[in-house]
Amino acid sequence: MTETAAAQRLLLVHAHPDDETIGTGATMARYAAAGAHVTLVTCTLGEEGEIHVPALAGLAADRADQLGGYRIAELAAACAALGVTDHRFLGGAGRYRDSGMMGLATNDHPRAFWQADLDEAAGALLEIIRAVRPQVVITYDANGFYGHPDHIQAHRVTMRAVELATADGVAPAKVYWTAMPKSVLAAGIDAFRGAANNPFGDVEQVDQLPFGTPDPQIAARIDGTDHYPAKTAAMRAHATQIADDSWLYSIAGNFGGEFMGVEYFVLGHGVRGPSSGPYGWEDDLFAGLTDPGTPP
């Protein structure tokens, strides 16, 4: 790493509890273990999530509508597994509600994150940026990786907050967006072909998927395979959302380590640092950053 670990400050903006673990858990665990200050901002409580624990079915949004509160505890346990001690909800717990999938009536709920005033939400994130002074921020791309309205809104809010932080003199040096190289997806399609719990369904070619980034567009490959057990423990903490028989637990061998222990990003803001990897992929999100900036 190009800075002393204690000076490194990484901030992640995710839409719902469990997004942080599935998409960036290995990265979070790697930098937390190295002594970086890792801050997680979650935008909603995930009230509209499915429930994979039958005994808790009554918490669902169309019943008691208590799932969001339960998921606060799941998220706390996941963060503990990843070694992350600084976790915050955007605007405070419950300020913004899970919007559900695109096109559903839940998108129109008055507290739905999809309906959030952009500058108000970005202002709340700006306050966190001012307090933490991260050099690196992670969120989703403009399509929210796969089109979920809350992921799209997290991207919009984050990038607007970065604009405001630039005017305020506290902008991060880099902003990364989560990504998955098409080469890794292609390997996954081959690895799961014929499996009973194939997450790719009847997809035969990577270009049939609504997501996937051409390999040359990837900016960073973060190897967190040493922290795969921490990521797995964090997934277990999100028991209402990730079933015991999920394909996420069933992948094995070298592909499993690559798919779950290695995470990829495109660079949405800033300058790519030096690297000897393929296509110039960085192996450190702080690559090229020599000035730790003003600490909070």
User: Could you give the percent of the chain with pLDDT greater than 70?
Assistant: 94
φ and ψ at 115, to 5 degrees? Answer: -95, 0
pLDDT at 3: 41
pLDDT surpassing 70 at residue 241: yes
At residue 98 the predicted structure's pLDDT band, cuts being 50, 70 and 90, is: very high
pLDDT at 291: 62
CATH among 3.20.10.10, 3.40.1160.10, 3.20.20.70, 3.40.50.10320 for 5-280? 3.40.50.10320
The domains of the chain are located at 5-280
Of 59-73, 223-237, 280-294, the range with the lowest mean pLDDT is: 280-294
pLDDT surpassing 90 at residue 149: yes
Cβ atoms of 279 and 264 within 8 Å: the answer is no
Mean pLDDT of 283-292: 87
At residue 178 the predicted structure's pLDDT band, cuts being 50, 70 and 90, is: very high
pLDDT at 251: 72
pLDDT at 257: 67
pLDDT surpassing 60 at residue 294: no
